[in-house]
Homo-oligomer: A and B are copies of this chain.
């Protein structure tokens, strides 16, 4: 094998992972998996795809090393393949919003008008001071799979009925899946209408989680992560 062949073999191997990001359906699956591991048919329902199509895309993601899978009784649970996969997806998401005007426009269309926001540092300071209530407005199973310390789970579709649980004399901060998730925007609008002071946390759970444990483990390759080669 000449050096040129060895080099192109290398880039071809990297492109195997790169192809994972070429399809909008796969990106949506990655986005969902960034919140919590899920079974195939949950992902199919959440993404609006047929089960067969979802399964095929998940296998493509698996071959690309972006997800792991494990059989659990009658179903198969897929999960993002560790820190590298999560930070890679977030890097793509952030780069695309920074460099492609079309992404920013689509995000604005989807999210509606911006609401008042708060950043990580300020939130942590105010939580230590105890003058803010933090709520997680994602579906409960995503909260259960991991959430910010000190947050209370109030899924968006329960918010209206459970307004009484929330104080009227304290700042309320809502967060959800991330910058492309409309839940926190809506929660802040609902809370504002009810006369409460509310802000949206700029970070979602995945970003928070990634920033929280900074580059800890060099991650020895785990069983089930390395696909067929």
Residue A219 interfacial (CB < 8 Å) = yes
Cβ contact within 8 Å between A109 and B6: yes
Known: A8-B28, A9-B106, A17-B21. 6 other contacts (CB 8 A): A12-B106, A14-B100, A17-B92, A17-B95, A98-B221, A99-B221
Residue ID in chain B nearest A24 by CB atoms: B11
Residue of B17, B82, B93 near A96 (CB, 8 A) is B17
Residue of B23, B65, B109, B182 near A15 (CB, 8 A) is B23
Contact indicator per residue, chain A 77-108, by CB within 8 Å of chain B (1) or not (0):
00001101101100111111011111101110
| A6-B143 Cα distance, complex, nearest whole Å | 25
Within 8 A of B (CB), among A49-88: 64-66, 81-82, 84-85, 87-88
Instruction: Give the shortest distance, in Å, between A211 (CB) and chain B (any CB).
Output: 12
Residue of B21, B84, B109, B219 near A22 (CB, 8 A) is B21
Question: Taking the full assembly, how many copies of this chain does it contain?
Answer: 2
* Chain A residues proximal to chain B, CB less than 8 Å: 1, 3-4, 6-25, 27-28, 31, 48, 64-66, 81-82, 84-85, 87-88, 91-96, 98-103, 105-107, 109-110, 180, 182, 219, 221, 225-227, 229
> Which of the listed residues A99, A180, A219, A225 has the most CB atoms from chain B within 10 Å of its own CB?
A99
Cβ contact within 8 Å between A15 and B21: yes
Residue of B12, B13, B99 near A84 (CB, 8 A) is B99
Residue of B82, B92, B106 near A18 (CB, 8 A) is B92
Given A84-B94, A84-B95 in contact, is the A103-B4 Cβ separation under 8 Å? no
> Which of the listed residues A10, A19, A20, A31 has the most CB atoms from chain B within 10 Å of its own CB?
A10
Cβ contact within 8 Å between B226 and A101: yes
Cβ contact within 8 Å between A100 and B229: yes
